[in-house]
């Protein structure tokens, strides 16, 4: 419908807000939108930071309770206890400020922390930095330390650590067991690291676990227990190649045999670090020389690597190698050491390989074959991530990456 503009008397639409001819306002100004309602929902606190709860069913003058995280259960749930010396606060912000202060130096408010509480706090952080296998080793060593679990950390002395190593016991199927030489070494290592952590937070003045060494008898026993890694024979390698397509994990084992990666390193190789155009992959761990090293992809395993790359893309994984066994119902498909070990044991038994073979033997095989086919000594060290102590080679010799590729291709 058309109407006349009151100002210029020309015709305009009755829906127009202003006259298109003279600009005269025809509609009342549109009211501005109401401001968006303020969201009073508080942000979730960071993992391990603590908890704040409002106690609503009691008439409290200070209804906000602050809890601190002291560890995790076996299922991963946080273990919390009231903040000391004061756990109830008038407002949420007061409780939050107290937690902030606590997390700056967690033990200022808990000078009498026990060894068990320290273990839970330390492992909550430490287990995130090590493999599942290493974490199991720490847990198995801790099982022998029940005699000191309830002691105050500041009261721990060398004799207490030695007591766990020499007299600690666990019960397995009704039978009492004492620590083996290897377990004694793990117990000492556990206290070395845990009391270093306590020293960092000024819970102790000295790490008494580091004031003594393992006995000569224990060291000899450890050396006798350790087995040498063994390479695969030509017949065993033929069996592996014959089953590369029909047995789960054989393809990954062959990649290890032609590249020298540690089992844990295989599971940590990311797609972003695999270059299928230049045929290289980058990764590594454990040592400075081993971390972030680039290894040429041997021509014999290129088709395997390419296939695993496409497979990872199809399942949406960021890692090159994944655990896609039909029996795996978990959403977590990451190739861990435990899963690789499981697959390796099955391959070894089903193909009747030497029963003494272990998951690191693919790495041993790579080094053995490299030496057999005359690969340069320093090339081998670069490829497997071993430290190079020769100053001339390490500092003054520049090596072309193509040189490494030529050397690795010598392996038949």
Pick from 205, 206, 204, 170: which is nearest to 187 by CA? 170
Task: Specify the pTM.
Answer: 0.50
Q: Which residue has the tokens 């100004």?
A: 29
- 44 falls within a domain: no
Strands 78-82 and 64-72: antiparallel
d(CA 195, CA 209): 7
pLDDT 10s digits, 357-373: 999 999 999 999 999 99
* pLDDT score at 20: 76
Note whether 214 and 304 are same-domain residues: no
* pLDDT score at 32: 44
Q: At which of 165, 193, 225 does a domain end?
A: 225
- 36 falls within a domain: no
* Dihedral of alpha carbons 213, 218, 222, 224, sign: positive
Domain that holds residue 203: 115-225
Mean pLDDT of 367-385: 90
- 363 falls within a domain: yes
Q: Where are the beta strands (DSSP E) in 25-89?
A: 51-54, 64-72, 78-82, 88-89
Q: Which residue has the tokens 């490299």?
A: 370
- 280 falls within a domain: yes
Number of domain units in the chain: 4
Residue 231 · residue 369 · CB < 8 Å: yes
pLDDT 10s digits, 32-78: 455 555 555 677 788 778 889 888 877 888 899 999 877 777 777 77
At residue 290 the predicted structure's pLDDT band, cuts being 50, 70 and 90, is low
Q: What's the CATH code of the domain at 369?
A: 1.10.443.10
Note whether 309 and 370 are same-domain residues: yes
Note whether 22 and 78 are same-domain residues: no
pLDDT 10s digits, 226-246: 567 899 999 999 999 999 998
- 43 falls within a domain: no
pLDDT 10s digits, 196-206: 988 887 788 89
Helix (H) or strand (E) holding 54: strand 51-54
- 35 falls within a domain: no
* pLDDT score at 119: 93
CA angle 79, 84, 87 (to 5 degrees): 85
Note whether 318 and 189 are same-domain residues: no
Note whether 396 and 276 are same-domain residues: yes
- Of 213-222, 247-256, 292-301, the one with minimum mean pLDDT is 213-222
Note whether 197 and 97 are same-domain residues: no
* pLDDT score at 31: 47
Helix or strand or coil: residue 293?
A: strand
- 332 falls within a domain: yes
Q: At which of 104, 126, 145 does a domain end?
A: 104
Name the token pair of 207: 């790490």
- 46 falls within a domain: no
Q: At which of 225, 243, 262 does a domain end?
A: 225
Burial class (CB in 10 A: 0-12, 13-18, 19+), 2: exposed
Note whether 259 and 400 are same-domain residues: yes
Q: Using the 8-state DSSP alphabet, how is residue 244 labeled?
A: T
Note whether 200 and 240 are same-domain residues: no
Q: Using the 8-state DSSP alphabet, how is residue 395 labeled?
A: I
pLDDT for residue 150 is more than 90: yes
Mean pLDDT of 280-291: 74
Note whether 214 and 338 are same-domain residues: no
Q: Using the 8-state DSSP alphabet, how is residue 211 labeled?
A: G
* pLDDT score at 107: 47
Note whether 90 and 68 are same-domain residues: yes
* pLDDT score at 109: 39
Note whether 305 and 181 are same-domain residues: no
Note whether 145 and 193 are same-domain residues: yes
């Amino acid at each position: 419908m058309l109407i006349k503009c009151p100002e210029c008397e020309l015709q305009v639409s009755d829906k127009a807000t202003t006259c298109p001819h003279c600009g005269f306002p025809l509609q009342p100004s549109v009211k501005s939108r109401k401001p968006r309602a303020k969201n009073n929902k508080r942000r979730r606190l960071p993992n391990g930071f603590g908890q704040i709860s409002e106690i609503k069913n009691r008439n409290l003058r200070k209804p906000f309770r602050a809890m601190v995280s002291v560890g995790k259960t076996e299922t991963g749930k946080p273990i919390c206890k009231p903040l000391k010396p004061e756990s109830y606060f008038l407002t949420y912000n007061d409780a939050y400020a107290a937690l902030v202060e606590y997390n700056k130096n967690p033990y200022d408010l808990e000078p009498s922390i026990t060894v068990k509480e320290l273990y839970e706090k330390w492992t909550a952080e430490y287990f995130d930095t090590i493999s599942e296998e290493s974490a199991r080793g720490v847990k198995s060593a801790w099982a022998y330390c029940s005699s000191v679990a309830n002691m105050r950390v500041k009261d721990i002395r060398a004799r207490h650590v030695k007591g766990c190593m020499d007299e600690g016991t666990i019960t397995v199927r009704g039978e009492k067991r004492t620590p083996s030489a290897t377990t004694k070494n793990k117990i000492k290592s556990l206290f070395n690291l845990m009391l270093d952590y306590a020293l960092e937070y000024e819970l102790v003045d000295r790490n008494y676990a580091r004031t003594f060494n393992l006995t000569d008898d224990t060291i000899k026993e450890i050396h006798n227990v350790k087995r040498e890694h063994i390479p695969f024979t030509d017949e065993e390698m033929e069996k592996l190649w014959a089953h590369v397509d029909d047995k789960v994990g054989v393809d990954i084992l062959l990649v290890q045999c032609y590249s020298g990666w540690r089992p844990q390193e295989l599971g940590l190789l990311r797609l972003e670090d695999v270059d299928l155009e230049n045929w290289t992959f980058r990764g590594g761990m454990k040592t400075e020389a081993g971390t972030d090293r680039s290894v040429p992809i041997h021509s014999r395993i290129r088709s395997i690597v390419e296939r695993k790359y496409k497979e990872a893309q199809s399942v949406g994984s960021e890692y090159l190698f994944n655990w896609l066994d039909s029996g795996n119902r978990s959403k977590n498909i990451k190739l861990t050491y435990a899963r690789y070990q499981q697959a390796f044991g099955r391959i070894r038994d089903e193909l009747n390989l030497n029963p003494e073979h272990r998951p690191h033997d693919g790495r041993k095989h790579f080094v053995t074959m490299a030496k057999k086919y005359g690969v340069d000594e320093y090339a081998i060290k670069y490829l497997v991530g071993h430290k190079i102590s020769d100053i001339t080679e390490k500092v003054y010799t520049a090596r072309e990456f193509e040189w490494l590729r030529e050397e690795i291709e010598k392996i038949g």
